[in-house]
Structure 1
Amino acid sequence: MRLALLALLGLAACNTQSSAPAVASDTAAPAIPLDTMKEAVRTLSSDAFEGRAPGTPGEQKTLDYLVQQFQKAGLQPGNNGSWFQDVPLVAITAKNVSPLSFTGGAQPMALRYGPEFVAGTYRVTPRIDVKDSPVVFVGYGINAPEKGWNDYAGLDVKGKTVVILVNDPDWQTAEARGEFNGRAMTYYGRWTYKYEEAARQGAAAAIIVHQTEPAAYGWNVVQSSWTGEQQVADAANGHADQSAAIGWIQLDKAKALFASAGQDFDKLAAAAKVKGFKAVPLGNVKASVSFDNTIRRHASKNVIGILPGAKRPDEYVLYTAHWDHLGRCEAAADGDDICNGAIDNATGTAALIALAQANKAAGAPDRSLLFMAVTAEESGLLGSKYYGDNPVFPHARTVGGVNMDALNMTPPARNVIVVGKGKSGLETYLDRALAQQGRTASNEPNPEKGFYYRSDHFMLAKHGVPMLYFDAGDDLIEGGTAAGKAAAQEYEKNRYHGPKDEFDPNWNWAGVEKDLQIYYAVGRMLAMTTDWPNWNQGDEFRAVRDESRAGAR
């Protein structure tokens, strides 16, 4: 399929900082090199790359391969003559993890590490020892002054263990509106926020209760993601200001814990949904857990390639994808312990290569195109956060970008799913590209999963850079939404963050090929226009973008 860029570039100037006419010097997209895409996914997800964990031999193989492929595609090194941006990390592996014990209740409890609880730490220290820490249930663990909501109001949790619910208080609301945007998760609902706030409050330990629906994944994902080596950003204070222990417990164990303290978990969880909820100490119950840490400092790498613009090379359009995955992880029943990350995210990384090749074949656009493969997304978006805090190219001169994370191998769909639909003027470009394929943009069917805060675009958006993130459609041409939902559920249940996310030579690539054409068109249009798309009025990122662009002008 060939997309006529001249037609696509007839864009309305709404939500832009410039209404200058858009002009294209080329009229159509070249064919997307699907064979390049297939070979890159197969290579990056092979056992030889050992799951592409940062700081392992798998990282070095990934870096070597990406540089080779970026060079072959015709890109230039994107960081002052280097392909790399160093990202200082610390790898922490918990060893000799004790049971998570609770004493002082009707029944003492000792939870098993792995099947019943997981724990780790952000602190860079050889030993963690939380002993006889009073336990407090803090509901959703949210402190949102702008909403008049504070689950920690009047509470001193210094030295205590807080038990927290995942997601937002109104996550079961049918619509995306309410105190915390209803069904659509806000950042207050993310587990990362829960630990951040617990640390600000001085908690010794922070434990989240796992519930599959509001967490958006089963316990198998928690266990595989939280065991083994964990990456944190290096910091001068060794993260001494963070809680000593953070982790998750199974829902049934949380209910048993509350019952042992004379409390009803379900009643307290319901009460926590109402503004004004007061935290509840669990009687005389005290928590203890300890473990040793092996510590390894290393510099992981973001990989940056650039296709310089022909007319305005100091204006930048960004494609991002994370190259990392989990490395060796909890073994499957057959003993396979390599989390290959074929879908997540060898596909997105391979798309960078394929799109670079396609854009080079089309000739240099007016603006520069950046292709950035970032590290440590699986550890909390650490690579993109580092770039956001230490940009190689000024955010004020970055027009916008597209993030690619886990391209689903489903047959062609009538739509795409826009994560965070309605946030920015970039959707005008997306809609024009989709129209050429007779497709539409849809809202997320599961906004409670909080995908907007779970991939690398978020760390650019926080600095004001308009970023678009969309997934493969769920309304399949053959089978409709029922088939799309079944495919998504099968992947999440059987392969996501597990050893079976592997390359399959029998994949149907027709849907991915159409999506790649959309990624190409959106990026190319941005690189050929003079417009500066912005976040929509009232969006959480609008103010920082306005300030950034005002400074640039």
Structure 2
Amino acid sequence: MSRRPLSFMLLLLLPAMASAAASPEAERWWSHVRVLADDALQGRETGSEGYKKAASYVAEQLGAMGIKPGAGEGYLQEVKLVSRRLVNERSRLALVRGGRRIPLVIGRDAIIGSRLGESGQVEAPLVFVGHGLSIPEAGHDDFAGLDLQGKVAVLLFGGPAHIPGALRAHHSSTEERIKALRRAGAVGVVMLQNPKAEELPWARVASSRFEPAMTFADPSLVEHEGLKVTVAFNARHAEKLFAGARHSFKEVLAKADANQPLPRFELPSRLEARAEWKLAPVESANVVGVLPGSDATLAKEYVVLTAGLPLGAHDEGLAHPALPRALG
């Protein structure tokens, strides 16, 4: 469920632009970009009129290319969703240390993730859990020996270099991370990014908090429930989390950069978070097409290609180190 689920056209365009910017083929692809990126579509937000126009355009193009409808009688598969938008002015973050409450500035110090979490207030101890990965196939478990019951896990994106990238990526997905955190008893998570691996500036991460996140209206389709609060923390202000701890954030980053095992330890602060959400029903459509193959032996097998840029990108931060491409 995304703001720009039609971006596969843009991705396919890039090689053509790079190799032959003035060729007829490149111009054909560029014409699609001009239509889909036009201001008249108003950003193509999920469920909006601009999105519906974009979806109809893509369906028309699939038909023109001879691609068969893949959503029953047509190309559009209607999906019922729920929009979750954080009520920024009624949401708060703070650290409690030594009996002193230290307010955090939402947007500057940290943001509250929109896709994951519950309304209401949470106050819980913080524990740094390294990369926050549990990968049984590789004999790696950042939660082993830690007491996370009723606590908030603080993690640094990344993982040990000796673990294959595909395996590490799988266990870094939102669903797998939440499963591991819930098994460990955590009630929330604070996510940190190594500044050396940042793909987008913090300002863009912070601004994503104003965008709604989309979840399925059917609860049976939602696989990422279970955490009371998720927070993306500005790495440049992360020493606030580690103040008075056995290790500083600078020391943690040095070990990560040297591909050394990360320490895991309790932080001398508690996180206090209050979030309020505005919920609204939304109906939107996937665009589905089928291109039959020519091999009779493989006629009943399918290769599924999907594309889309997540909305409320910081919510996919659990799954991707570039929080705003993300997090929901």
Distance 1:311 1:140 in 2: 45
After superposition, the Cα gap between the structure-2 partners of 1:111 and 1:118, relative to the gap in structure 1 and judged at 3 Å, is same
Distance 2:51 2:314 in 1: 14
2:107 touches 2:206 (CA, 8 Å); kept in 1?
yes
| Secondary structure of 2:278 counterpart | strand
| Secondary structure of 1:322 counterpart | coil
| Secondary structure of 1:40 counterpart | helix
TM-superposition CA deviations, 1:262-282 (whole Å, max 9, x none): 64223345567655x663111
| Amino acid paired to 2:194 | Q
Equivalence for 1:290: 274
* TM superposition shift of 1:120: 2.0
C-alpha RMSD of the superposition: 3.7
Q: Does 1:40 align with 2:32?
A: yes
Q: Given the two structures, how large is their TM-score scaled by the length of structure 1? A: 0.46
Matches within 5 A, 1:153-552: 153-170=144-161, 178=162, 180-181=163-164, 186-189=169-172, 193-236=176-219, 241-261=225-245, 263-269=247-253, 274=260, 279-283=264-268, 285-308=269-292, 312=296, 314=299, 318=303, 320-322=305-307, 326=311
Distance 2:237 2:191 in 1: 12
* TM superposition shift of 1:100: 1.6
Matches within 5 A, 1:121-160: 121-122=114-115, 127-130=119-122, 132-160=123-151
Deviates more, 1:263-272 or 1:213-222: 263-272
Bigger Rg, which one = 1
Distance 2:31 2:181 in 1: 44
Distance 2:233 2:35 in 1: 36
Matches within 5 A, 1:67-82: 67-82=59-74
Distance 2:97 2:215 in 1: 34
Distance 2:174 2:197 in 1: 11
Q: Percent identity?
A: 24
Within the candidate set 93, 103, 112, 2:105 is matched to 112
1:157 touches 1:202 (CA, 8 Å); kept in 2?
yes
* TM superposition shift of 1:101: 0.4
| Amino acid paired to 2:62 | F
| Secondary structure of 1:50 counterpart | helix
| Secondary structure of 1:141 counterpart | coil
Distance 1:137 1:310 in 2: 53
| Secondary structure of 1:51 counterpart | helix
How many aligned residue pairs are there? Answer: 295
Distance 2:63 2:92 in 1: 50
Unmatched segments (≥5 aa) in structure 2: 1-22
Distance 1:113 1:52 in 2: 27
| Amino acid paired to 1:67 | A
* TM superposition shift of 1:308: 4.3
Equivalence for 1:66: 58
Deviates more, 1:317-326 or 1:142-151: 317-326
1:166 touches 1:191 (CA, 8 Å); kept in 2?
no
TM-superposition CA deviations, 1:440-487 (whole Å, max 9, x none): xxxxxxxxx889xx9xxxxxxxxxxxxxxxxxxxxxxxxxxxxxxxxx
1:231 touches 1:379 (CA, 8 Å); kept in 2?
no
Distance 1:182 1:167 in 2: 10
Distance 2:58 2:213 in 1: 24
* TM superposition shift of 1:311: 6.7
Unmatched segments (≥5 aa) in structure 1: 1-30, 171-177, 330-376, 381-448, 455-495, 498-553
Distance 1:59 1:44 in 2: 9
